[in-house]
Amino acid sequence: MLRNYFKIAWRNLIKDKMFTILNVTGLSVAFGIAILLAMAGFFDLSYDKFHTNADHLYKVYSVQQTSKGPEASVSQPAPLLEALKAEVPGIEKASRYLQQEAIVSFNEKEINMDAVWVDADFFDMFTFPSLKGKINNPLEKQSSIVITESTAKKLFGDEKAIDKTVQILINGKDHPFNISAVVANNLPQSTLEFELAIPFEKEADYQNNKDTWDSSYHDVYIQLANGVSPKQFEKATRALVDLNLQEQIANAKRDGAQTNADGRYYKFDILPVTDVKFTKFKNGYAEVSRSTPYLVLGIAFLILFIACVNFINMSIAKSGQRLKEIGMRKTLGAKRKQLFLQFWSESFFVFCISVLLGLMLSILLIDSFKTIFRTAVSFDLLISPTIILSFLSTVLLITVLVGGYPAILLSKLGTIQSLKGKLDHSGKNKVRDGLIVIQFGIAILLISGTLVLREQLDFMRNKDLGFNKEQVLSFPLYGKKDSHQALQLLRNELASNPDILEITGADNNLGLGKDGSLSKSIYGFEYKERVIYTNSLTVDYDYVETLDLKIVKGRNFKRGYANDSLSVVINEAMVKELGEKDPLTAYVTVSDSIRYPVIGVVKDYNFEKLDKSIQPITMFLNNNEGLYYAYVKVAPTNMAKSYDVIKQAWKKIAPNATFLGSFLDENINRTFRKEEKIAKMITAGSIIAIVLSCIGLFAISLLLITQRTKEIGVRKIIGASITNITFLLTKDFLKLVGVSFLIATPIAWWFMKEWLQNYPFKIDLSIWSFLAAGILTTIIALLTLGVKTLKVATQNPVKSIKTE
């Protein structure tokens, strides 16, 4: 019996090739794209879940009450780790974590690498499988380090890495370290990235800070015992806070800060390691949002939904052509169950073919998908019993619903009514029209989101950031030479080149450079009996001139002024923080209560990402502090040539260092990767959604126009024009698009308004973006309908009347 059902189903599909091809094409594309988007969504959701102890691993953060409200920070003081282990019950393991660049030397090789400074528990807490060497506690000795497989390849090629000795530059001197273990390369869905791991006690500033509670500069991770909750941890740390942070608490009371709900001025809290990727600290609270991966999964669902709507609509529209077939089957004794199985078998065929083609399409497109959307997805994420079973269950459910609906509808008809080929279409048309409204509403929603998102991206790219981003090249000062000395050598090397206008340096980059580093330093000091917090930036001479910053009061650091190394330049936001009418009377207090007077004020500029407002910043001219980045301002002509000249000059100064130069506008654009990824995915989703919607609309209009061919012929004979006939055949569908616009636009407006709240610098929502989405959708729908409509409207009416 089943064999007969499938045999007839196959014949029916072959018989009506046009509708079969349209159905299979739409579903195949939808399945293929949905699989790729699902992989991207599940990949993002899988961050840090691969650790065996993931459910018990947490990142420590602190919340301090200030006069401006609570402020959260993940940077912790060096003595916190030992205090937690000694005084807080329920902590099984703990490790500090500091990510910095390190220069590693072996024989003639000198390579700058991503290093992490961690404690001995690190590799017992986190799952980084050991491939060679010590498996347990590989950092037991302070002279030991752990490297990844790719690092071993860089340093030693095919030679054995275990027990080899390398030199690591710390505080200007090479220190020998023995390689105790080689671990697997970092997984792409890990927030903890490194090429080598070094004992934290060997970190350059550890000895100076190991007993200091007012200097926070690293992260702390802990592993809690079973049954210990974050709330229990927070309560257990209160005594520790009261004992070690008395000065911070006293300052908060003095400055008029309000206590939190528990009556505390300072607290430690913890964040699950699986939430770290998705957490932003706002107004002192940890906000965990997985909106981006859920948005990607939502787009995948919507695309698949639109394809299924097409299938349902085409099945409904086509059911009228099969009334006589159903009437004959009922005359011969067919039961409702048998009719249902017949329709279901046809749907099953279509879906099986579509799923296989969609899977093949996703395999063909995955490399391009990974490149375009900057993701490291793989099919491994989908190869699990739960996901496979869920996928197959969904396909089965869809086939039952899609194939079963026409069967249930038609099986209610009487045999004579079916044989006459007459059916009341009113109920079916309501379902069809409702589904068309939904699918075009989705398309309008996605197109509106695309237009607003791209407008915001263009706004951020073109915004005046307050500094020269087009002509300034930045690169990290890798190498063993003292950074100030290296910078002076660079000035000497390029002094005779007329295209090189200015050269300077700083301890931080603007935007995201090729080295991937993005950091900042927060400094707090007492000013007139209150605590002031500011971003700290160490700069060299000519920093203001190189970046074309604007001095609004006072002056910049100048050569020949001996006291400038004991002075500071601040921005306008810092002036507001200090609260002085004349900022040149203010000062910044550093160690040992030494006061650095303010000698100049620069106009505010965006030194952080554009999803943050401009914060106070203080510039120091300190030859004892390292400069990590060079900035070179070049003439607007021959910029490519200037890039090569700078690269060659740096090669002479640091022959073993990799040159990672990029212009600041490139750095700024890299900070928009998340927004660009979302924009690309929504754009792709919009295009696919509108194409799939139009495929369904074309198929339905094709069927309905075919059913009304005789009517069209009669109308032409009695004088109807081509315009009248075209309007007659398209007006009902265009009304549905209009209804879609009215429903989708308020929803899109609300979503985009909420999304823009994440940016202090944003566009004003304009109705034109939403009108453009509606007009574009209407034009596309009209063109889709017009292909067949014009052909029929211009056809000889005699031929139309003769059409069976």
Please state, in angstroms and rounded to a whole number, the distance separating the CA atoms of residues 57 and 2.
54
pLDDT of residue 196: 94
At 192, the pLDDT band (50, 70, 90 cuts) reads very high
Please state, in angstroms and rounded to a whole number, the distance separating the CA atoms of residues 193 and 203.
17
Return phi, psi of residue 606, to 5°. -80, 95
Please state, in angstroms and rounded to a whole number, the distance separating the CA atoms of residues 768 and 773.
8
| Side-chain-facing half-sphere of 232: CA atoms under 13 Å | 10
* Run of H or E residues at 104: strand 91-106
| Side-chain-facing half-sphere of 126: CA atoms under 13 Å | 29
Paired tokens of 626: 């390292």
Paired tokens of 646: 């700078």
| Side-chain-facing half-sphere of 370: CA atoms under 13 Å | 12
Q: Which of 753, 736, 639, 641 is nearest to 693 (CA)?
A: 736
pLDDT of residue 650: 92
Q: Indicate whether 630 pLDDT > 90.
A: yes
Helix residue ranges per DSSP H, 137-265: 149-156, 206-209, 230-236, 238-244, 246-254
* Run of H or E residues at 673: helix 673-707
Give me the residue spans of the domains in the chain: 292-354+396-459+673-802, 479-659
* SS3 labels along 458-474: HHHHHCCCCCCCCCEEE
Q: Indicate whether 700 pLDDT > 90.
A: no
Paired tokens of 120: 């001995």
* Run of H or E residues at 576: helix 572-578
pTM: 0.85
Please state, in angstroms and rounded to a whole number, the distance separating the CA atoms of residues 285 and 408.
54
At 501, the pLDDT band (50, 70, 90 cuts) reads very high
Mean pLDDT score, 68-75: 88
Residues 681, 299: contact at Cβ < 8 Å?
yes
End-to-end, the C-alpha distance of the chain in Å comes to 34
* Run of H or E residues at 167: strand 165-170
Return phi, psi of residue 161, to 5°. -95, -30
* Run of H or E residues at 570: strand 568-571
Q: What is the pLDDT of residues 288-332, one digit of tens each?
A: 888 889 988 989 888 988 888 888 777 766 665 666 666 666 665
Please state, in angstroms and rounded to a whole number, the distance separating the CA atoms of residues 658 and 515.
10
- Inter-axis angle of helices 722-756 and 709-717, nearest 10: 120
At 427, the pLDDT band (50, 70, 90 cuts) reads very low
* Sole residue written with tokens 């089957």: 329
